[in-house]
Structure 1
Amino acid sequence: MPASAGVRRRGAVRSEEARIAVLGATGRLFATQGYDHLTIEGIAAEAGVSKQTIYRWWSSKSAVVADALIEDKLLPDHPVVPDTGDIRADLIAWMQSLIDLVAQPGNDGLVRSLVAAACESPDIGTRLNDALGITATVSTRIEAAVAAGQLPADLPVMEFVRALVGGFVLHSLERSEPAPDIAERLVRALLH
């Protein structure tokens, strides 16, 4: 007989319904208040659960936000790289859409929260990458551009993608007003 058989765990049992309510509440509150004004207390009240229920599932506000994003409760229509046949223009448009997204009032803390959540847990970083599909979709688009002769055949695709995403993340962490041509400058710097 397993050691846990017949022994009841202390505290409330984790409820999938409560977890879903918390993620939904996080998405709704993020949309109206932004990351910086989002609180565990506010999420708990909106979800109709206790703060302790939230802390049974997540270690921090950043971790809740990351899971809400992973499960499409936060940004269900996150930007994707277009495919117009012009890789340079497509990457600039995608990068600009990311910059515009985090420049919206209340969204400036989003990237910081995701970085913090990924630092807290490597699993969250992997799940964020998988859920958003950034590495997979951008690398697929870059590989297609290489195959079409739009980019050099010896381009190190994964390193290029990481540098592109890293440039966006670093820019977001600076908390500075984006220059009007920052997306073009980031892409141009990597393609030269």
Structure 2
Amino acid sequence: MRRTTAPDPARRSERSRAAILTAAAELVAEVGFGKLTIEAIAARAGVGKQTIYRWWPSKGAVVFDAFLAAGEHEGGLALPDTGDLAADLRAVLRPTAAELADPALDRTYRAITSEVLNDPAMFAEYRARLLDPLLDVTRERLRSAREAGQLAPDTDLDLAIELLYGPLHYRWLHRLGPLDEAHADRLVDAALRALGAAG
């Protein structure tokens, strides 16, 4: 007697979800966010568009999830604490600069930025799942440096974070120059000098 196994709905759903995110990432890189449609994502993923709307309220939300999945950002943020503050900050700013400089990701980043600025629900998702975790791990590393005497006791940690990330994103947003490891290193050095870091 032949035994049959019933399909696993969870596995099927995960397979569909992965196909949708892959399709969204590919299409936004190919045609840009403005020309991207839910119908096109559904067709490439081999699912009905109702499947997409069951999980995401908009194409912006799909693209944001695709971005997180491709970069494995969600839940994976960490900042080393080797005792060398400059080296630890370079370890996070260098890959951040490299991602922003990647032509294949640039259109996606800019599309997400536009959506985040115009959609309060997406902004809340962006804060909760990407921005706040990054700020939290950076703040904790700076707090550790302050407690170790590498930063002054009255160092404003939130201002320190802005000194690190703000100029990087300003340069990217306005396409003012190359974003590479050398620039990331100069930015870390300048921020630490401005903060009066010891050593």
Q: Same fold (TM over 0.5)?
A: yes
Q: Structure 1: how far apart are the matches of 2:11 and 2:170?
A: 36
Tell me the alpha carbon deviations over residues 97-125 of structure 1, each in whole angstroms, 9 at most, x when there is no partner. Answer: 11112323411123312311211223323
Structure 1 match to 2:22: 28
TM-score by length of 1: 0.71
Structure 2 match to 1:66: 64
For these two proteins, the number of residue pairs brought into alignment is 174
Structure 2 match to 1:116: 114
Q: Structure 1: how far apart are the matches of 2:16 and 2:158?
A: 35
RMSD of aligned residue pairs (Cα, Å): 3.2
One-letter code aligned to 1:58? P
Percent of matched pairs sharing the same residue: 32
Q: Which structure 2 segments of 5+ residues have no match?
A: 1-9, 195-199
Q: Structure 2: how far apart are the matches of 1:154 and 1:74?
A: 39
Q: Structure 2: how far apart are the matches of 1:35 and 1:81?
A: 29
TM-score by length of 2: 0.69
Contact 2:64 2:112 in 1 (8 A): yes
Q: Structure 2: how far apart are the matches of 1:58 and 1:184?
A: 40
Q: Which structure 1 segments of 5+ residues have no match?
A: 1-15
Give the Å deviation of 1:134. 0.7
Contact 1:84 1:90 in 2 (8 A): yes
Tell me the alpha carbon deviations over residues 116-160 of structure 1, each in whole angstroms, 9 at most, x when there is no partner. Answer: 121122332332233231111111111111111112221111222
Q: Structure 2: how far apart are the matches of 1:159 and 1:19?
A: 43
Matched residue SS, 1:73: helix
Structure 2 match to 1:6: none
Q: Structure 1: how far apart are the matches of 2:170 and 2:20?
A: 25
Structure 2 match to 1:130: 128
Which of the two has higher C-alpha Rg?
2
Structure 2 match to 1:48: 46
Which moved further from structure 2: 155-164 or 72-81? 72-81
